[in-house]
Structure 1
Amino acid sequence: MRYVKWTLWLLVFLLVGGFLHYTLPQHDIVRIVGTENRRVDVGENSIFWSRAEVGMVNSTSRDVYFINARYPDGKTMEFRNEDTGWGWPPYFKVDSAGLMTKAKDMVSTAQAPVWVSITHYGWRNKLFTIFPNAVGVKQVEGPDVTIIPWFNIFFFVMLGFILLLIRRMWLQFRERTIDPAFDRAGDAWDRVDARADEAAAGARGAWGRFTGWLGSWKSKPRR
């Protein structure tokens, strides 16, 4: 059972960790090499695309902005640029066209690079055609700049505080309600057990008296 317990906890950790890693904002330092507006047919991976009602005509085929970029080490990355509206994740992004204009203005070449920080959420997966969604772009001084994820730090601090608060409330609830209830149940069980022992002792005494009475009816041996 111990292995089953730890396996379940591991699955919960992976699910929650994966959800947070996909949803929380990340910052990539890149050089934008191009932008485009591409027609996309959304299929089984529709969960990784914005909903159709966010400025789109339908959920199966629509135009999507894309930002093509390169990392300082030369690796490539493609970001989609879609509104999130009032849905999930709660970025409340409704300015994908404005973000596209900023990205076009920051396109640069390897000879004259302009380094930018693209804030995004999501993953890039070529097998399932998944792209991270850019929610912000700003120019930075160079490829070695460090972006401090203040939002993520604040989020995890608050999450830890809420978890500690919930744990404290649970311990108080258990101390005030559950433990006394178990104690009362244990006392009641002890009383029932004691009565059962008394009844059993009484039954043994009555049986002994009965068998003694029967023995008194036996004929005495003749002299």
Structure 2
Amino acid sequence: MFWAKWVFRGALVLFVLGFLHYTLPQHDIVRITNTYNRLTTVGAENSWAYSNPDTGTAESTTTRDIRFIEAVYENGSPMVYRNEDTGWIWPPYFKYDSSNLQAAAGNLKSTAEAPKWVVVTHYGWRLPILSIYPNAVSVRLASGPDERIIPYVSIIVILFLIFLVVMIRRMWAQFWERTVEPAAANMGEAFDSAEAQASGFWGKIKRLFGAK
């Protein structure tokens, strides 16, 4: 039981960390090489990683016309982003300007000989085996490939969640101390009293019938 409790806690922590890593904004410094639209098949195994088709263009529930942005890191590693509206669904980026973002990304394309380094803010993961792409939220010119970016939004959200967890733990501890423990003590006293009364009652019955 001890190991089961810790395995459950570990799985819960990993789930929360994975959820935050997927949802919170991340920043890549890349060189944009291409932008295009492509009909993409969205199946049951990866539909959770794509936006609601009602907020973007869609051919059907399985084949969607999705915008993509191809890029390259300074070390030459490729990266591909999708560019979809998020609408009012989760995650709450309220993005409705994917067409404008595609135009801005296309305007920032550059070559290896004359690179333009761009900061791409996105959320999500790149999982080639499931054809999953991070969703680009914004693009802007970077001062260079080594620009330092401080993730203020992620820091604020994480600090708020830590504060929320601490407050919930304190409220639960106070509730337990002020409500649950006194109720348990009262139940224990009532049980002891009932047990004593029952013992006295059966003692009288035994004496009445001369039982030893």
TM-score category (smaller protein): over 0.9
Once the two structures are superposed, the pairs formed by residues 1-223 of structure 1 within 5 Å of their partners are 1-44=1-44, 45-57=46-58, 58-203=60-205, 205-206=207-208, 210=210
Relative to 1, partners in 2 of residues 1:211 and 1:8: Cα closer, same or farther, differing over 3 Å? closer
- Where does the alignment leave 5 or more consecutive residues of structure 1 unmatched? 213-223
Task: Indicate if the aligned counterparts of 1:27 and 1:117 stay in contact, CA closer than 8 A.
Answer: yes
CA distance in 1, matches of 2:22, 2:145: 24
Alpha-carbon displacement from aligned partner over 1:68-124 (angstroms, at most 9, x marks no partner): 011111100000001111111111000001111111111111111111110001110
RMSD: 1.7
Shift of 1:194: 2.0
Task: Indicate if the aligned counterparts of 1:51 and 1:59 stay in contact, CA closer than 8 A.
Answer: no
Shift of 1:211: 6.8
The aligned length equals 210
Relative to 1, partners in 2 of residues 1:33 and 1:160: Cα closer, same or farther, differing over 3 Å? same
Task: Indicate if the aligned counterparts of 2:56 and 2:84 stay in contact, CA closer than 8 A.
Answer: no
Rg (Cα) greater in structure:
1
Alpha-carbon displacement from aligned partner over 1:42-93 (angstroms, at most 9, x marks no partner): 2222121111101323322221111101111110000000111111111100
Shift of 1:204: 5.4
What one-letter code is carried by the residue in structure 2 that aligns with 1:115? W
Task: Indicate if the aligned counterparts of 2:33 and 2:111 stay in contact, CA closer than 8 A.
Answer: yes
CA distance in 2, matches of 1:94, 1:14: 31
Q: Which has the higher contact order (CA 8 A, sep 6+)?
A: 2
Relative to 1, partners in 2 of residues 1:202 and 1:11: Cα closer, same or farther, differing over 3 Å? same
- Where does the alignment leave 5 or more consecutive residues of structure 2 unmatched? none
Task: Indicate if the aligned counterparts of 1:65 and 1:81 stay in contact, CA closer than 8 A.
Answer: yes
CA distance in 2, matches of 1:40, 1:115: 28
